[in-house]
Amino acid sequence: MKITDVKTILANRYLFVKIYTDEGLVGLGESGTWGFLDASKGAIDAFKTYLIGQDPLRIEHHWQYMYRCWHFKGSAIMGAISAIDIALWDIAGKYYGTPIYNLIGGKCRDKVRVYGHVGGSTTEEVIANLKQAKSQGYNAIGHLSPFLDESRDVPYYTTHAKEIGEAVERVAAYRDAVGNDVDLLIELHTRLKPADAIAFAKGIEHSYPYFIEDPVGPDNLDSMELVAAKTFVPIATGERLISPQEFAMLIKKNAVQYIRPDVCMCGGITGTKKIAAIAEANDVLVVPHNPLSPVSTAACLQIAVSIPNFAILEYPGDDQPALSEKYGSTNVEKGVRKKDVVTTTFKCEQGFMEIPRLPGIGTELVDDIETKFPYVRRPIKTRLHIDGSVVDQ
């Protein structure tokens, strides 16, 4: 069997890849470089020159060849490798007539625990949404901002005491709203510096959050290590890391208790399996980052089913639009739900998601997706401070 073509598909807010073979099997993957999909498309087009004529079942060899070819990395390149790798595994599953998880060790579990997304522009709105998610059966709720979902168009300013004090009080209100029957996953989006993150983490310890995610920026691992050492609240991070080596260094510093590899960013299923093995050897749990399309969800489920140290899977909901729409967009994709772009999604009940049963990743794109849902580039929109400087949010 040989690869005959590699096609990139930009649709709505997503970048997909299809890999074609001379035996009629077609593999599907997705790139996670959602802010810079055009750059990732260029990287896929470059890798295409190597892939044409290759045996698609030599997945590890192709991963190594692309990963080590010119020594350059970066998220656009790794998003490309990830999309290609997922598509190659999809071909392998279809070739052998089985879901991918049966090719990478088999099932460790029969269903996958998930956490839903909840937001709001006021404390009252978040609490109402929390209660609604609990009534829908979720036993874990995440993407919870203690600073609310404020518009990036509004210049930012507050005092330290007000910022941290209100955030701590808000998390306590979240806990009071749902009790201890729901795990709370707190999202900070690299918003704080180490001293502020430590103050916040210590302030919410009595609320027993499942974890706090990305309390500080991911570029300085020493800063994450410092925060982790000063609180018993677990730290989750890793959605912006792109290689097994980066995760290994993070884990070696005891700077994380839950790693967040993005299957569409850190090297696909092959890369994520490597990262999960490093984590398992160090008693660290895996929470796959999953903000993209149902293609990403399908790939994440293959990992979640087959690794022993899986904890929980991010699930924003297939009835929702692309997450990047919340940061401002045109009207082109309004009304486009995630489930509209694929043929199959996976049922979620009482906080757990069913696992794929079909060969490969278990889903396909709808026909003529590029015409039905034209591509819309994510706008560049960074929040500014009242003094004109850049704010992390």
Q: Which of 241, 232, 321 is nearest to 274 (CA)?
A: 241
Q: Is 46 exposed, middle or buried (0-12, 13-18, 19+ CB in 10 A)?
A: middle
Q: Which of 160, 189, 206, 385 is catalytic?
A: 189
DSSP 333: T
Rounded to whole angstroms, the Cα distance separating 38 from 108 reads 37
Can 385 be counted among the known catalytic residues? Answer: no
Residues in the chain: 393
Rounded to whole angstroms, the Cα distance separating 253 from 220 reads 12
Question: Who contacts 34 (Cβ-Cβ below 8 Å, separation ≥6)?
Answer: 13, 14, 15, 291, 292, 322, 324, 378
Can 61 be counted among the known catalytic residues? Answer: no
Query: Bridge partners of 289?
Result: 262
Q: Which of 62, 117, 143, 289 is catalytic?
A: 289
Provide the 3-class DSSP secondary structure of residue 117.
Answer: strand
Sequence letter at residue 363? T
Among all residues, which ones are annotated catalytic?
189, 289
